Amino acid sequence: MPSSTGENTLLDGFRLVPGRLDREAQEALRDAIRAVAVEAPLYRPSMPRTGKPFSVRMTNCGPLGWVSDQSGYRYQPTHPGTGRPWPAIPEVLLSLWKELADYPHPPEACLVNFYEAEARMGLHQDSDEAEFAAPVLSVSLGDSCLFRIGGLDRRDPTRSLRLASGDVLLLGGASRLAFHGVDRIYPGTSTLLAQGGRINLTLRRVTKPDESPEW
Ligand code: SIN
Ligand code: MN
């Protein structure tokens, strides 16, 4: 059970695998994500309607990437700045998905969030996908954060847990549409990123697959 504060019970299908990636695996993944960001540079998205900039910067890898701008949230096959297709999802992430997702098709999107010390992520649901039978698989790298998770209604009680570099978290089953967010980053808690900060990777299946398994 993760260390936590608050009263609510975590929904079924929520799973935290602390320290799933050792330092060597974290460094390899960090380097793979650096290569992704060379091909598909981090950019600062803006909120639908208001156009307010996010405090995190983002990029994606995979056939589809999650984007947000004044016209809304959506998945698209190309980087909004360069117009090029997103780079492939690193093999190590595909292996993690195979091992932990309990879902017979590959992920289609890997959102890369980069948090500097002051960045946050407000409470939200991951609901822009057509397929909710697959979990969201999230990997944390770099500085620790305070992650908050609630229920299926925004007003449900929430619980807070600290996520550290190398931790893997799954929102599957009943927790797939749980509200969640990042309240704060703890600067200086990891040496993985030379300039500090936190990287979060979320793997998602976006479309409903055909009947036949893809692997
Ligand atoms: C997200 O919900 O997109 C990010 C969660 C996190 O940074 O841990
Ligand atoms: Mn999310």
- Residue 161 inside a domain? The answer is yes
Q: Among 135, 191, 134, which Cα is nearest to 166's?
A: 191
Collapsing DSSP states into helix, strand and coil, what is residue 180? strand
- Residue 199 inside a domain? The answer is yes
The single-letter DSSP state of residue 159 is E
Greatest alpha-carbon span in the chain: 47
Backbone angles phi, psi at 137, to 5 degrees: -110, 125
Whether 115 has a pLDDT exceeding 90, the answer reads: yes
Which pLDDT score is estimated for 22? 98
C-alpha distances in angstroms, 91 versus 5, 47, 104, 134, 182?
35, 31, 16, 19, 27
Tell which wins on pLDDT, 1 or 69. Answer: 69
- Residue 114 inside a domain? The answer is yes
Which pLDDT score is estimated for 135? 98
- Residue 210 inside a domain? The answer is no
Cα 111 to middle of ligand 2, angstroms: 9
Residue 93 belongs to domain with CATH number = 2.60.120.590
Whether 104 has a pLDDT exceeding 80, the answer reads: yes
Residue owning the nearest CA to atom 7 of ligand 1 = 200
Number of domains in the chain: 1
- In which domain, by residue range, is 130 found? 3-204
Please report which confidence band the pLDDT of residue 212 belongs to, taking 50, 70 and 90 as the band edges: low
Percentage of the residues of the chain whose pLDDT score is greater than 90: 91
Cα 213 to middle of ligand 1, angstroms: 28
Q: CA 164, 47, 137 angle in degrees (round to 5)?
A: 35
Please give the average per-residue pLDDT across 89-117, as a whole number: 98
Cα 105 to middle of ligand 2, angstroms: 20
- Residue 212 inside a domain? The answer is no
Residue owning the nearest CA to atom 6 of ligand 1 = 200
CA contacts within 13 A on the Cβ side of 49: 0
Ligand 1 site, CB within 6 A: 111, 113, 121, 138, 147, 180, 182, 200, 202
Cβ-contact 25, 166 below 8 angstroms: yes
Please report which confidence band the pLDDT of residue 211 belongs to, taking 50, 70 and 90 as the band edges: low
**Ligand 1 atom closest to 138 (CA):** 8
Please give the average per-residue pLDDT across 151-169, as a whole number: 97
Q: Among 141, 125, 203, which Cα is nearest to 170's?
A: 203
The single-letter DSSP state of residue 102 is -
Residue owning the nearest CA to atom 3 of ligand 1 = 202
Whether 3 has a pLDDT exceeding 80, the answer reads: no
